[in-house]
Structure 1
Amino acid sequence: MSTETKVRAKPRKRSPRVVINADDMEHLEGLADGLQRRNAALADRLFGEIARARVVSAAKMPANVVSMGSTVTYRDETTQQEKTVTLVYPEEADIAQLRVSVMTPIGVALLGLAEGSSFDWDTRENERRLLTIISVEQPTAGS
């Protein structure tokens, strides 16, 4: 009998699943292409999310998943603070109205996540935080 003990590798935390509406895909890819020269790291994050996403038709897009135009409430698990924002394209962004661009770090992080999903977030002060999607509300027709 061997006296060696097996060392288990610490399991890597898997990223939450991402679902993207097929109707948004071309616009998102174009935005990421345009961002490549200005902010390559953020563009690469968006391309990464797009690459690992399950792309579905608008009719099959789950109502509990953050998509363009969704209003999402998320919680910072460290501070327990909740924030509600609407995910929009850059030309519609207005932080005063809590309309967050998909071309920001938080916008890229929120895109395609379902209610209950958690993800790591690095603050401007380089603190790692865990954020959890509490609720997702889809825009009503005509809004």
Structure 2
Amino acid sequence: MKTHSQTPRKPPIVIGDTDYRRLNKLALAAADRLPEISDALLLELERARVASDSSVPEKVVRMGSAVEYKTDAGAQRIVTLVFPEDADISEGKISILTPIGTALLGLSTGQTMGWTARDNSQHKLTVLAVNEDRAEAKASVRPGR
């Protein structure tokens, strides 16, 4: 009997429409200089359920979220998912244009996601907690506040 090796299914993800629009533009703009990352981000955006900003659940990783996760090796980290211009690894601010940043996008507390590092090594992470900095999201949802 032939056995089939299955690729693990990716968990469902939710992205707010403001993040979706900004990230789509960013991925397209990065296509020439970072094609693998651009393609990975575009694939995540394609499979995401896009929701209005105000209806994205609080415990979903979005731009500006502080995320606590553990790796398949057991290490735990807290990082903030940011746009490339705000990235600073020494402050725990990781760019969406990194493999792990793209993997975190749209995940909810408790979800596990596989991702491929730039050296082609395979990893998994599990989201333990999401602490949303909703200031930017609130400003885009309720202008003038």
TM-score by length of 1: 0.86
Q: Tell me the equivalent position of 2:15.
A: 20
Q: Tell me the equivalent position of 2:80.
A: 86
Q: Tell me the equivalent position of 1:65.
A: 60
RMSD: 1.9
1:10 Cα deviation from its structure 2 partner? 4.9
Distance 1:37 1:11, change over 3 A: closer
| Unaligned ranges ≥5, structure 2 | 138-145
d(CA) in 2 for partners of 1:123, 1:88: 18
1:109 and 2:117 equivalent?
Answer: no
From 76, 86, 89, the equivalent of 2:71 is: 76
d(CA) in 2 for partners of 1:62, 1:72: 14
From 66, 77, 96, the equivalent of 2:90 is: 96
Aligned pair count?
A: 137
Identity score, percent:
38
Distance 1:31 1:12, change over 3 A: same
1:41 and 2:27 equivalent?
Answer: no
d(CA) in 1 for partners of 2:35, 2:107: 22
Q: Give the conservation status (yes or no) of the 8 Å contact 2:12–2:107.
A: yes
Deviation per CA, 1:2-26: give whole Å up to 9, x if none.
xxxx656455421011111111122
Distance 1:140 1:100, change over 3 A: same
Give the ranges of 4+ consecutive aligned residues of structure 1 lying more than 6 Å apart after TM superposition.
none
d(CA) in 1 for partners of 2:63, 2:134: 12
From 23, 32, 45, the equivalent of 2:27 is: 32
1:126 Cα deviation from its structure 2 partner? 3.9
| Unaligned ranges ≥5, structure 1 | 1-5
**SS of structure 2 residue aligned to 1:114:** coil
Max Rg structure: 1
d(CA) in 1 for partners of 2:51, 2:131: 18
> Which stretch shows the higher mean deviation, 19-28 or 46-55?
19-28
Distance 1:125 1:46, change over 3 A: closer
**SS of structure 2 residue aligned to 1:64:** coil
